[in-house]
Amino acid sequence: MNTTLSIIKPDAVKRNLIGEINTMIEKNKMKIVAQKMILLSINDAQRFYDVHKDRAFFDDLCKYMISGPIVVQVLKGKDIVSNYRKLMGATNPSNADENTIRSKYGLSVEENSVHGSDSKENAKIEIQFFFSSKEIFGD
Ligand code: ADP
Ligand code: MG
């Protein structure tokens, strides 16, 4: 079993969807082994999304990610990186498969409700960005 980083983004936190999204995660046999609500600084958002710094949407993305609190989580489960990406659905909610988090709750390609790491290597880096090992409770 391995772990991935999940973020419930500001649009979803604002619309009271933390519980609904956590229910989808838990019903799909993924375990939340760490979770906290935080407000990113602009510097945090820019560092977290550094891979996208040359994209046209980068400034807007960073502004959106600091527009309200987010919930950061560590999820554990079988093939968790790819299984959570499947549960999230495509980046653009209008292209996301039915019954995915983004198809149900995403508002736009930017305000798409959740983040999930895209590889095992990035999961490790992203988990360390937000959590110390003492805050993670997977056995
Ligand atoms: P994903 O979150 O599916 O891995 P990306 O890593 O490509 O997608 O993009 C990171 C985030 O940047 C997306 O989740 C979304 O919030 C935002 N984003 C991506 N593409 C666009 C776009 N074309 N316009 C506005 N925002 C975008
Ligand atoms: Mg990505």
Ligand minimally distant from the alpha carbon of residue 61: 1
Ligand 1 within 6 A of CB of 90: no
Number of neighbouring beta carbons within 10 Å of residue 23: 11
115 is catalytic: yes
- Residue 4: closest CA among 88, 69, 65: 88
Q: Which domain holds residue 9?
A: 2-135
In the chain, pLDDT over 90 holds for what percent of residues?
98
Ligand 1 within 6 A of CB of 61: yes
Q: pTM higher than 0.95 for the full model?
A: yes
CATH of the domain at 44: 3.30.70.141
Position 139 scores a pLDDT of: 65
Structural domain count, the chain:
1
Question: pLDDT digit string (tens) for 115-136?
Answer: 999 999 999 999 999 999 999 9
pLDDT above 80 for 58: yes
Ligand minimally distant from the alpha carbon of residue 92: 1
